[in-house]
Amino acid sequence: MKLVVLDFDGVLFERHRTVDNPPPNPDFTHKYFSYYIYPGVHQFIQSLLEKYDVGFLTSITEKNTLPILRKLYANKEIPKFKFILDRRFVKHDPEYKKFEKINFYDTIKLLSDIHLSSTINLNRVYNTHNTIIIDDSYMKMRFNHPKNVILFTPIVKQNFYVGYNYRSGYLKKWPEHQYTKLSSYEEILNYITSIGHNKIDWKKK
List domains and CATH numbers for the chain: 3-195 (3.40.50.1000)
Tally Cβ neighbours within 10 Å of residue 142: 25
pLDDT of the chain, 205 residues: tens digit per residue: 799 999 999 999 999 999 998 889 999 999 999 999 999 999 999 999 999 999 999 999 999 999 999 999 997 899 999 999 999 999 999 999 998 899 999 999 999 999 999 999 999 999 999 999 999 999 999 999 999 999 998 853 333 333 323 334 456 788 999 999 999 999 999 999 998 766 676 555 4
CB crowding 16-47: b at 16 or more within 10 Å, else e: eeeeeebeeebebebeebbbebbeebbebbeb
Please tell me the pTM assigned to this model: 0.89
Beta strands 3-6 and 53-57: pairing type?
Answer: parallel
Integer Cα distance of 171 and 72 in angstroms: 34
